[in-house]
Amino acid sequence: MTRTVMVRNFVAVAAITLVSVGLSGCDYWPPALQTQIEQLQSELQSATAEKAQLQNQLTSIAKVKDDLQAQVTDLSRANQDKSTMITSLQNGLAAAQGRLAKSAKVASPKASAGKPSAKVTPKAPAKKKPQAKAAKR
C-alpha cells in the first residue's frame, strides 16, 4: 500500500510539474521561429496603425457626409419653397391675365367695329407688364 501511495504522489508531482511548466510558457524559440514571430509582431503593429488611420478617415468622411446631408436637406426645403412661390406667381399671373382679358372684352363692344385690331395690339404689352413685375419679385 505504501508503494501505491508513493506512485500516486509521484504521479501528482509529475502532473503538477507539467501543468506549471505548461502555464509558465516557454521563452525559448528556435531562431527561425523567433524571426517569424518578430515579423508577425511588426505586421501586427503596422496593421494596428493602419486601422487607426482608417478609423480617423472614416470618422472625418462620416462628418462630411452628415454636413452634405444637412445641405441637401436645406436645399430641398428651399427648392420646395421656391416651387410653391413659382406656382403661386403663375396662378396670380393667370388670374391677372383673365381679368385683363375680361376688361378687354368689356371695352371692346364700346369701341367702334373698325378698330378691333387696334385693341388687340395693346393686349400684348399689357400682358408683359405683370410678367415683368413677377420677375422682379
Residue 135 within any structural domain of the chain: no
Q: Are 134 and 92 in contact (CB under 8 A)?
A: yes
pLDDT of residue 35: 92
Answer whether residue 112 is part of any domain: no
Whether residue 31 lies inside any domain: the answer is no
Q: Is the separation of the CB atoms in 126 and 100 below 8 Å? A: yes
The closest alpha carbon to 54, from 43, 64, 44, 62, belongs to: 62
Domain around 95? 73-101
The pLDDT of residue 110: 61
Show Cβ contacts of residue 29 under 8 Å, excluding neighbours closer than 6 positions: 37
What is the H or E stretch that residue 37 is in?
helix 31-110
Is 84 within a domain? yes
Q: pLDDT by residue (tens digit) across 71-83? A: 999 999 999 999 9
Q: Between these two residues, 11 and 69, which has the higher pLDDT value?
A: 69
Question: Can you give the length of the chain in residues?
Answer: 137
How many domains does the chain fold into?
1
What distance in Å separates the CA atoms of residue 30 and residue 10, rounded to the nearest whole number?
32
Contacts of 96 (CB under 8 A, 6+ apart): 130
96 compared with 133, residue with greater pLDDT: 96
